[in-house]
Structure 1
Amino acid sequence: MTLRAKLDAETGLYRVVDDIAGPLEEINAFLDAIHTRELSLLTVRAYAFDLAAVYRWLEVCGKRLESLTQADLLDFIAHERRRKAQPASINRRLTALRSLFEFWKPEGMAAGVGRNLPSPFYRGPGRDRNLGLYALKKRRTLKLKVKTPRKLVTPLTPRQVNTYLSGLKRYRDIAIVHLMLFCGLRSREALGLKTGDVCLLERRVKVWGKGGKERAVPLSRVVAESIELYAKHERPHSCEGDALFVCLHGKRRGRAMTPAGLRSIFRIKRKRSKVSNANPHRFRHTFGTDMARSGVTLPVLQKLMGHQSPEQTLQYINMSMSDIAQAYIEASAKIRKIYDLD
């Protein structure tokens, strides 16, 4: 079985197809259902690729979807770990697998022999709370998942940012990086901008984030100027569609830039500037860190970055080691003065 997820040119929907047997209707019917719920195309795409990975595993182990048990999920986790998949990717595929299973079998997945689920938090007998009695709610069964390590992403330094920016020659590339660095846009959000989304007069941009959620982000003077220079001097007058950022050369001149094209640009510029960790997400992370260091409050930063919950923003702006070291040095200096050690 050679499975792949691809975009159907006729319907504009993602489909999972076997090169020999044809479309897998078991998955595609589920994809149609989540599309009907008006989930974003990128969400449908993620489900398609994850479920394709799940069905490759089913083929390897000789199992069928309807016969799976919760114990089989451990085999899937072991399979994915052998493939060196990241914990977050494994957990996302487990979620996709459960959703597909419950789509076809609403009664849920049987336990099976060898099931291993996380233990619920023990809360005691549930009595004598403030000298009263109360009944505990029924304990919720936790979903099986892989422990995800907490990673600390270090933002770019001012020197790295200046080095990278000095190597950019096109106004288009400068404008894209400025939107990530000074407005916190994701790469997909920058590529998804339309000409009508940018208002240079009012210095604001309308951004369509994850799940099709809309937010308005202010434009600083430097960002507005870089967009204006690109629109005036580089963007072709005759473009296919109203995408703001388009290809400037070759057969695709005037067509919207693709994520693959943007990755290629960053890969080339990283090599030339020798700033090896410069990527779209790192510039966005640098924006979040710079805003937090400048005293921007959590609710404001959450809105600027398009996060659904404040917890996401808190994880995003974890202090780097340089922040911790600087705070330690300043505190140590004050402590030494207390004990007259200087």
Structure 2
Amino acid sequence: MSRRLTKLQMLRQGEAPKPASPAPDTVCGDFLDYLKGECHLAANTIDAYGRDIRLFLQWLGGKDLRKVRVGQLSDFMGHLRDKGQAPSSIARTVVAVRTFFRYLQLEGRVTDNPAELLSTQKMWQRVPGVLSIREVDDFLRSPRKTDTFWQRDRAILEVLYATGCRASEVCSLRVRDMSLKERHIKAHGKGGKQRMVPIGSRAIQAIELYLEQLRGKLAAKSPHPPEALFLSRGGRPLDRIQLWRLVKLYARRVGIDPKISPHSLRHSFATHMLAGGADLRQVQELLGHASIQTTQIYTHVEHSRLKKVHRQFHPRA
């Protein structure tokens, strides 16, 4: 009763009551619903943002979100760095926190948006790990005919490097997404976006061999005709964890850095394209990046082409 009287007194004095601070246990769920329903982000992105925001709210310790300032946000990023989080993970957390506070502001749950002043520090950025062309060749040849599913595994590795697709995009490929005669495939990217990606001869040959010799046998183990291109031993669509394990397996076989992941082949694809003379905008389109700034990280990796241009054209090189 006293609470109602207080609000009534505030209204009589011409003051609007301040909105209650959003409860951490519900605001995160509401935020994820917003990302899915309004922003149409990919499921993996929503999961990652959810982990980031839950960690942030836990670190905040129940403090009023309306009173958070940019200094506290910077302290949180420093906390993640001290905990040993990778610079790329911290950079993603910065984006997640920005989006979170923008959502709170749109909903009227906070008045100010301190995250607008939060910048992605250069020290949080890192140059992505890239394989040499020789390492890529060894890696793509690593599946042997003595391996149970070597046709599938070789096709997967070839597609990862030939297209620069994300692991989730490779796992979601369907047979009808293949236009091998036209030498391209349809990739299903983040946020439901689709793009046509060219594919080379070696990857096409590997896919055709897999379709001819193995996929039908795997598909026969499924109770329903599967649409996915790459199937598990039980005839189900291959998932990202299985793909990750395959990459690790063949990396160990040829003695490549054990930190390699499916994304390493995406990094290598982009870097080798730029080294060969591709335009940055073209690489952006092939990778499916929404922003050119995301693609620009690869310009920090490959300097050999620029050095060659400098030696060739600068009068005092």
TM-score range, shorter chain: 0.7 to 0.9
Matched, 1:168 2:120: no
What's the offset of the Cα at 1:207?
0.7
Matched, 1:229 2:218: no
Residue 304 of structure 1: aligned partner: 286
1:165-222 per-position Cα deviation (integer Å, ceiling 9, x unaligned): 2221312121122112122211111111112111223222101112221110122221
Quick one: structure 1 residues 75 and 287, their matched pair in 2 at CA, closer, same or farther if it must change by over 3 Å? closer
Structure 2 residue identity aligned to 1:30: F
What's the offset of the Cα at 1:322?
5.5
Residue 237 of structure 2: aligned partner: 256
Structure 2 residue identity aligned to 1:144: L
What's the offset of the Cα at 1:67?
4.5
Runs of 4+, deviation exceeding 6 Å: 324-332
What's the offset of the Cα at 1:156?
2.0
The structure showing larger relative contact order (alpha-carbon pairs under 8 Å, at least 6 residues apart) is 2
Structure 1 residue identity aligned to 2:73: L
> Whose strand proportion is higher, 1 or 2?
1
CA RMSD of the aligned region, Å? 3.1
SS of equivalent residue, structure 1 residue 234: helix
SS of equivalent residue, structure 1 residue 216: strand
> Whose helix proportion is higher, 1 or 2?
2
Residue 25 of structure 2: aligned partner: 24
Quick one: structure 1 residues 155 and 29, their matched pair in 2 at CA, closer, same or farther if it must change by over 3 Å? closer
Provide the TM-score with structure 2 as the length reference: 0.75
Provide the TM-score with structure 1 as the length reference: 0.70
SS of equivalent residue, structure 2 residue 122: coil
Residue 82 of structure 2: aligned partner: 82
Residue 112 of structure 2: aligned partner: 109
Residue 270 of structure 2: aligned partner: 288
Residue 167 of structure 2: aligned partner: 187
Residue 130 of structure 1: aligned partner: none
Q: How does 1:205-216 map to 2 (within 5 A)?
A: 205-216=185-196
1:167–1:272 Cα contact (<8 Å) kept:
yes
Identify which of 132, 136, 140 aligns with 1:157.
Answer: 132
165-174 or 149-158, larger mean C-alpha shift:
149-158
Q: Percent identity?
A: 27
1:40–1:212 Cα contact (<8 Å) kept:
yes
Quick one: structure 1 residues 73 and 154, their matched pair in 2 at CA, closer, same or farther if it must change by over 3 Å? closer
Quick one: structure 1 residues 244 and 314, their matched pair in 2 at CA, closer, same or farther if it must change by over 3 Å? same
Q: How does 1:259-278 map to 2 (within 5 A)?
A: 259-276=240-257, 278=260
